[in-house]
Amino acid sequence: SYELTQSLSVSVALGQTARITCGGDNIGGKIVHWYQQKPGQAPVLVIYRDNNRPSGIPERFSGSNSGNTATLTISRAQVGDEADYYCQVWDSSTGILFGGGTKVTVL
Amino acid sequence: EVQVVESGGGLIQPGGSLRLSCAASEFIVSHTYMTWVRQAPGKGLEWVSLIFSGGSTYYADSVKGRFAISRDDSKNMLYLQMNNLRVEDTAIYYCARGAGSNWFDPWGQGTLVTVSS
C-alpha cells in the first residue's frame, strides 16, 4: 500500500524559511494537499493541488511537488505558524492518505 | 459562511454503537463529497470514510464492516454509524467537505468519541 513519510519535526528561526517535506513513491505523479493544525484546533487547508493557496492563506505559504518529494515552504516564518502540518493524497488502492505530520517550531 | 458542525460523540463501552452527525451550512451536502477523519489522542490524522455525491462510499480498512457513512439530503446532514466499537476507535472525529481533487475544506471542530469500559 502507498505510504507518505514526513519528518517528525522542523525548527526554523523567526523570519527564516521552513521547508516541510512529504515523501512517497513517485509522489510527483499524485496531487498533494497540505493542512495546518494548531493545538486544540481543527485542521485548516493551506495548500491544495500541489501549489495553490486558498483564500485567506498568506502568500508566505507555497508548495511544490516533483519526483519522490512534495514540499510545503513557509517563508518569513512567524510564531503564529507554529503548528502540525500534514500532507494528503488520494491513492486508488488506499483512498485518502495522510502523512504522519510534522511539528513546526519557530525559534 | 460555509461550515460543518459535528455532534454525537461521547463515552461508549467496547462493542457498543454510536452515530455521529455533521450539519452543513451554506452548501448542499448531496452536491459534493464529504468525509470523516479521526485523530486519536496525541496522534496524527487518519482518514475514516468518504461519500461521493452519487452515493458511492469508501472506508479505511480499519473500520470496514463496522462503520457506515450516510447522508440525509432532506436535512442536509452527514452521518457516521459506528458499530462494534473498539478501544482503538477512541479519537476526535472530524467531518469535512470535499472539493476538487480530493482536498477537504472546511473542517468542523470535531466530536470526541471515547471507547472504554
User: Is A93's pLDDT higher than 90?
Assistant: no
* Alpha carbons A14 and A79: distance in angstroms, whole number: 7
- If you measure CA to CA, which chain B residue comes closest to A84? B44
Contact assignment for A45 to B105 by CB distance below 8 Å = yes
Contact assignment for A43 to B94 by CB distance below 8 Å = yes
Encode pLDDT of A13-23 as tens digits: 999 999 999 99
**B104 in reach of chain A (CB within 8 A):** yes
User: Is A47's pLDDT higher than 90?
Assistant: yes
Q: CB atoms < 10 A from the CB of B91, how many?
A: 22
Q: CB atoms < 10 A from the CB of A39, how many?
A: 7
Name the minimum distance, in Å, from the CA of A78 to any CA of chain B: 23
- If you measure CA to CA, which chain B residue comes closest to A48? B103
Q: What is the mean pLDDT of residues A35-62?
A: 97
Q: What is the mean pLDDT of residues A25-51?
A: 97
Per-residue pLDDT, B100: 85
**B111 in reach of chain A (CB within 8 A):** no
Encode pLDDT of B38-50 as tens digits: 999 999 999 999 9
Contact assignment for A31 to B101 by CB distance below 8 Å = yes
Reported confidence tier of residue A92, pLDDT bands at 50, 70, 90: confident
State which residues of chain B have pLDDT below 70.
none
Per-residue pLDDT, B13: 98
- If you measure CA to CA, which chain B residue comes closest to A103? B44
Which chain B residues are Cβ-neighbours of A3 within 8 angstroms?
none
For the four alpha carbons of A25, A38, B31 and B9, in that order, the dihedral sign comes to positive
User: Is A52's pLDDT higher than 90?
Assistant: yes
Question: Residue type for B34, please?
Answer: M
Per-residue pLDDT, A6: 97
**B99 in reach of chain A (CB within 8 A):** yes
Name the minimum distance, in Å, from the CA of B46 to any CA of chain A: 7
Per-residue pLDDT, A10: 97
Per-residue pLDDT, A54: 95
Instruction: Give whole-number Cα distances, B58 to A64, A94, B35, B62, B84, in Å.
Output: 28, 10, 9, 12, 18
CA A99 to mean position of chain CA atoms: 9
Contact assignment for A45 to B37 by CB distance below 8 Å = no
- If you measure CA to CA, which chain B residue comes closest to A92? B58
Per the DSSP assignment, residues forming a β-bridge with B19 are B81
H and E: helices and strands count for chain B: 0, 11
Q: How many residues does chain B have?
A: 117
Q: Over chain A, what is the mean pLDDT?
A: 96
Contact assignment for A95 to B99 by CB distance below 8 Å = no
Per-residue pLDDT, A31: 97
